[in-house]
Structure formats: structure tokens, C-alpha cells
Chains A and B, each alone.
Chain A
Amino acid sequence: MARVVERGERKGPEMPDQRRARGPGRPRPSQTRVFQALHEVAVLVSGVRDPTELARLVVERARDLLDADKAVLHLWDEEHGVLRPLAATAAVSLSTPPIPSGQGVTGQAFSLRRPVLVRDYAQWAYALPWAIACGVQAAAAMPLLVAERAIGVLAVFFDQRGACSPEQAQALSLLAAQVAPALAAARLFEAERRARAQAEASEREARTLYRAALAIGGELDLGARLERVLDAAIELTGAKQTWVVLAVPASNEVEIVATRGQLQHWQGVRQPRGVGLVGTVMRENRPLRVADQQTDPRTWLPERAHRAGFRSWLGVPLADRSGVFGVLAVLSEEADHFTEEDERRLGSLAALAGAAVREAHLYQDAQEAIRARDEFLSIASHELLTPVTGLKGYAQLLQRSLERGMLDPERLTRTLGWINGAADRLAELTRDLLDISRLRTGQLVLRPRPVDLAALVREVADRYGDHPSERHQLVLSVPAACPVQMDPERLDQVLTNLLDNALKYSPAGGQVRVTLRQQGEGALLTVSDEGIGLPPGAETTIFQPFGRASNAAERNLPGMGLGLYICRSIVERHGGQIWAESPGDGQGTTFSVWLPLQASPSPVEPARD
């Protein structure tokens, strides 16, 4: 025992402070105890793989061996440049502040890579005030050295000044020397285990995303793709409630288009674009994690959120190169449920799903366009075949009557008149189709010149006469003159179309009123009838290509749904506006055309001085 101590005295730790002082009455650790402790640590080292567990056992051995009051093991945190407590004896809290290199016995031992023994801590230059406050009077610290590098510090503390002999310190240094490599190995092992767990988690996540990509790609239908997105959102975040919101095309709203969990009755719910948490995500184009949507100031209709009972909200934007078009969100009844990791994973899914959802959206659009075209072809062919049937029928009738000697000049004249009429109608339809084609390809050219719109209105109305049919009466209210700059042929086309419509869609007859007056910087023309009116929503539909009001189709009134689309295009190209108003089905319709007095039709001629 004496030899060990002597050797320790000679080769032992250099004590920067009070190195020759002796503890008053503190027993020196017996050789047996030191060996026993070292042996125990050796056994521990081989058996314990968890560095924290190992450190906890080591601090206890150190305290017992040195009869200290406390013992703490700190490890160097490379990333933050501080020493952090890894384990401490029972009485010590691990929430003590991290220690910078050079401060306190721990910091000194670390920076000097030498043992430090302090027997009057309160007077020591590097003492930590909070350690003094904790009652530390004496302390010893040993660096944990591995291949000349300090990885941490094992320190013991005494409540009594002058405690801790150099022999005790030496025993501590032996303990530290033995534990350091084991701790380093355990740490490495732990780091590797964690890295492996992380790699496994990443791989699992990647596999989930890959499976999701395959599943999403396996569907063409938007609804089916969204279902696969929700599946993946649930798998990645463990959420039970999830939904997808998409911007409604040609509107200022967003709509919940797919849901899972208790959100089913939210399917189809719309809200204005830009409001609430969804609006925030879409506006800022980045994920938003809300601990409690019931109290978050950004929540739209918080009372509704409260009724729904959900608290945590995590939403990520669905976007492609053209911008954000929706939000994928997960919800939980538990506050602050979702983690940064959930946010990252959901973000990955959204990045992956964005293009696919967009693609499906486009596919749906394309399907819709194909359907509209097929429908158009069906209607168009019917409309075209009707005059062709008339032409063919009358031609054959002429032939038959000629063969039978029944063709007198009067009949010939009348029949040729019908043939002419059928040909005119055929030509008119063909012109409409041609106009549509030119409008769609942007080839319709306007030839504007100064025109008296009032004269034009009277001229068109004269073509119909006061009684355009047995059942209708035409009433004009037009000023003496109304000069505008426009393409008169195109405006004639608009006016004729509106008057034809007014007659066609008031099969029961009645008055058709045409008014013209100056309003603001423009001329306002209205055509009103007492006909079948418009069902709600049809005010916009009828101006779409092939768009017809449902009540017109129900009543089987002939028409291709092209006239008003052509009108709208012409009026808008003149810098004007066209709209329809109706109190409802069966209550008549008023069409209004507003044209600027100084129309600037497109394409505009370059101005010349």
C-alpha cells in the first residue's frame, strides 16, 4: 500500500494548488479498496455498453472510494465547445450549467489535460460561483484521456475545506485512466448505434416515400392519387387525421378534396383562399407547425376549430414550378403533438406528391376538355345535319316532282327558297364554327372605325321589324346618336346574336326591349326579354364555349352554346364587358354590353404624333 502511495507521490498528478496539503483526518484509501474499486470498474467496463450507465456507476465508485460528498463526470461537447454533465452521484442535479474549458476544477483539468486538486475551493482563482453556492469546499478532477486527447473529466467534491489527499487524488486518477478508454469505446458504440438507428429510420422513410411514389404514380385519377398521398402521410407521421386542400380553378377559394379519420364530413368544404393556417402556408410557401390551432391567432374561424376538437396542426405546401396550389395537413387532438421530424417527413411527401397531384389535376382538365370537345362535336354534328337534311330533302322532292310532272313554277320557286334558307343556315353555323376556331387561335382581327352605335342598333332592330314573330314585340329606347370607335360588323354580330337569343329563349313570346345610353366613359346597351330566364349559376356558364344554361337544354331549345362565347370575346376585345342578369328560371333575362366610348381594341395600332 505504501509503495503505491509513494509511487503516486513521485509520479503522480501535479497539483497546481496546495499540492502538498493533507486532508485533516480524512482516511487515505486503502490499497485494497483501490484495487477493489479498479477491479469493479474493470468488470463494469467489460459489461456495460451504455456510456451513461457506465458513467453513473463510475461516479458512485469514485465518491465511495474517495469518501467524497459528490462526484460528477462531464464529457466534452465538441459541437458547442463546453463540458456537459453525463452522470452524477444521487445528490447532484444534472441540470447544472455546461462548463466552459478552463473554468472550475472540471474546466481546468480538461484544458490542462492534468489532474487538478483544490483544497480551498472558495479561495481558488478558477472557482465557479454556482459551485461555491452548492457548498463545494474542496475538489479533485481528473481528465479522461484517450490517446493524449481529453474526452471529459471525472471530478469529486467535498463539503469540507482541506479534504482530499494527494493519495486520494491519485486513486481517482487511476480510476479515470481505467474508465476513459472504456467510456470512449462505449461512446463510439453508442454513436454508432444511434447512427445505425438513424440510418434505419431514414431507410424506412425512404422506402415509405418510394412506395408512396409508386402507389401515387400507379393512379391517374386525381382522387385515387390523393388517397395514396393520405396513406403515406399517415404512415410517415403516425397521424390519424389528415386532409388535402386544393385551390379551386377559376375561383378565389380552396376546397378540402380528400380526408381521412374524423375529418370525413369536411370533404368538399370550401373557404376563401388566403385565410387561416391554409392561407398562411400557401402564401409563404413553407411548412407551418402549430402547437394549438384553437389558440393560434392565424386560425380562421377559431370557434369552428374548437368545435372540431383538433389542436396540433401541421401543414405543408403542395407546389410545382407554377406555384403553390394546395396544402397537405395532419391534425391531432393533442396539443404540440407533431415534431420537427414530422414536419420534415411531411415536407418530403409533399415535394414528392406535388408534381403527381398537379399532373392528375392537369389530366382531369384534359379529360374535361376532351369531354367538352366530344360533346361539342355531338351537338355541332346534330346542328349541321339538320339543314343538310333539309337541303337533301328538298332536292329529292324537286327531283320526284319533276319526274312525275308535278313541278310547276310556283312550287319550284318556293322549294328553291327553302333550299336557299337551309344553305344560309348551314353557312351561318359554319361561320360560327370558324369564328370559334379563330377566337381560340387568336386570329380574329378587329377593324375598328368611328361608328354611331345608336344607328347600328336601329339598323339591326329594323331587320326584325316591330313584330319579329307572331308572339314578340320589339321595343327600342335609343338616343339620337352615340359615337364610338369599333368594328361595326363584329358589333352587328353581337347585337344580332343577343336579339336572336331574346326571341329564341322566350318561346312564349312577350316584349323584347333594347336600350342604349351613355354611362360613365362608355355606352351601355341592354337587351331584355320575358323568356325562360337563367337558373342560378348560369350567368357565367352561358359565356363559356359550349356552355348552355341547363333550362335551355332541358327545354331542348336548339343551339350550340357558341353565340354568347363569340359575343363575349368580341366585346372584351373592344375593351368592353358583357354580362347577364336574371331573377331566375322563367323570369326573363337582361343582357348588358358596356363599351368604352374611346375603345382601344386589341391589337392596338401604335400611337403616332
Chain B
Amino acid sequence: MTERRYRVLVLDDDEIIRGFLSEALNDEGYEVRQAASGREGLNVLQEWRPNLILLDLMMPEMDGWAFRDEQRRRPELADIPVIVLSAARELQLRSQHLAAADVIAKPFDLDDLLASVARVIARNAAS
């Protein structure tokens, strides 16, 4: 298979969540990389450009808001779509400023999440 697989970056400080998201996305045929903080995520992005970022908000060192700000500031990264995943209570309120392709509250339904991932990637690929 020569066709390049779609790539997803999973950004979450929780090891368990990173784990099952990666497995589930792998099962779906995505190429997955993980990072535990915004800082780590930016490092990954320097050498590996994904088609989508799954972004947790409350993370140590650099949180989801700061990561998103930084990502949108960089022209080469700004157009990568982001799906926000968070258990933060004020999620609905504060996510408005994130300009995310989708916002999904934890805990979520895996089928719903994977559907959203596919939808966002397809939409982005088409445009």
C-alpha cells in the first residue's frame, strides 16, 4: 500500500487516555503519535505533520489553550484541524475561543469520537 495513511496527533497528559485513543486510531488505520503536554506536542510537530490533532485542555507545562494559541500563530501549523477533548466543566464556554473543528466532552463514546475524527479529516482533505 503506497497511499499515505492519515496522521493523528494525540495530546493528553493522561497515559491511559493516550493509550486507548492510540490503539483505537491504529485499529482504524491511522498513523498515530502521542504527546503528554503542549510543549511535547510542538516538538512532535516540528518533524511530523498530522492531518488532525486530538487536544486535551488541562495539561501540565503547556495547556491546551496555550498550545492552540501557539499553533495558530505559526503559519505552517495553523491549518491543522483540532478536536478538543476535555472534562473541564467550563468546556462549552471556554472552547468557543479555541476555534476547534469539534469539541467532545470526557468521558465520550469511542464510536462518536472516531466518527468525528473521520468527518473532520475528510472535510479538510476535500477543501
| Chain B positions within 8 Å of A389 at CB level | 14, 16-17, 87, 106-108
Q: What residue of chain B has the Cβ atom nearest to residue A386's Cβ?
A: B14
Report the bound CA distance from A390 to B16 in whole Å.
6
Report the bound CA distance from A403 to B95 in whole Å.
35
Least CB distance from A145 to B in Å reads 91
Least CB distance from B18 to A in Å reads 10
Least CB distance from A16 to B in Å reads 102
Known: A394-B16, A394-B20. A557 touches B110 (CB 8 A): no
Segment at the interface with B among A206-214, A271-279, A377-385, A588-596: A377-385
* Complex contact B58–A418 (CB within 8 A): no
Question: Does A397 interact with chain B (Cβ within 8 Å)?
Answer: yes
Least CB distance from A390 to B in Å reads 3
* Complex contact B23–A397 (CB within 8 A): yes
Instruction: Produce 1/0 per residue, B79-113, CB < 8 A to A.
Output: 00000000111100000000000000011111100
Instruction: Produce 1/0 per residue, B10-33, CB < 8 A to A.
Output: 000110110111011001000000
Instruction: Produce 1/0 per residue, A552-578, CB < 8 A to B.
Output: 000111100000000000000000000
Known: A385-B106, A396-B109, A396-B110. A390 touches B20 (CB 8 A): yes
| Chain B positions within 8 Å of A396 at CB level | 24, 109-111
Q: Range of interface residues on chain A?
A: 20 to 34
Q: What residue of chain A has the Cβ atom nearest to residue B107's Cβ?
A: A389
Chain A 380-418 residues near chain B, CB threshold 8 A = 381-382, 385-394, 396-397, 400-401, 404, 406, 415, 418
* Complex contact B61–A507 (CB within 8 A): yes
Least CB distance from B93 to A in Å reads 12
* Complex contact A406–B19 (CB within 8 A): no
Report the bound CA distance from A113 to B106 in whole Å.
104
Most buried by B among A386, A392, A422: A386
Known: A381-B89, A418-B19, A418-B20. A393 touches B110 (CB 8 A): yes
Report the bound CA distance from A388 to B106 in whole Å.
8
* Complex contact B17–A378 (CB within 8 A): no
| Chain A positions within 8 Å of B111 at CB level | 396, 400
Cβ contact of A397, chosen from B13, B87, B89, B110, cutoff 8 A? B110
* Complex contact B13–A558 (CB within 8 A): yes
| Chain A positions within 8 Å of B89 at CB level | 378, 381-382
Least CB distance from B87 to A in Å reads 4
The secondary-structure label for the interface of chain A is: helix
* Complex contact B16–A422 (CB within 8 A): yes
| Chain A positions within 8 Å of B44 at CB level | none
Least CB distance from B90 to A in Å reads 8
Cβ contact of B107, chosen from A388, A557, A558, cutoff 8 A? A388
Q: What residue of chain A has the Cβ atom nearest to residue B36's Cβ?
A: A507
* Complex contact A397–B58 (CB within 8 A): no
Instruction: Produce 1/0 per residue, B50-87, CB < 8 A to A.
Output: 00000000111101000000000000000000000001
Cβ contact of A393, chosen from B17, B58, B61, B63, cutoff 8 A? B17
Least CB distance from A159 to B in Å reads 99
Report the bound CA distance from A227 to B58 in whole Å.
41
* Complex contact B27–A400 (CB within 8 A): yes
Instruction: Produce 1/0 per residue, A424-454, CB < 8 A to B.
Output: 0100000000000000000000000000000
* Complex contact B60–A382 (CB within 8 A): no
* Complex contact A393–B87 (CB within 8 A): no
Report the bound CA distance from A394 to B20 in whole Å.
6
Report the bound CA distance from A555 to B13 in whole Å.
12
Report the bound CA distance from A382 to B86 in whole Å.
9
Report the bound CA distance from A422 to B108 in whole Å.
15
Residues of B participating in the A interface, judged by any CB pair closer than 8 Å: 13-14, 16-17, 19-21, 23-24, 27, 58-61, 63, 87-90, 106-111
Query: Can you sample 17 A-B contacts with CB below 8 Å?
Result: A381-B87, A382-B88, A386-B16, A386-B17, A387-B16, A389-B87, A390-B19, A392-B110, A393-B24, A397-B27, A406-B27, A421-B16, A507-B61, A556-B13, A556-B59, A556-B61, A557-B60
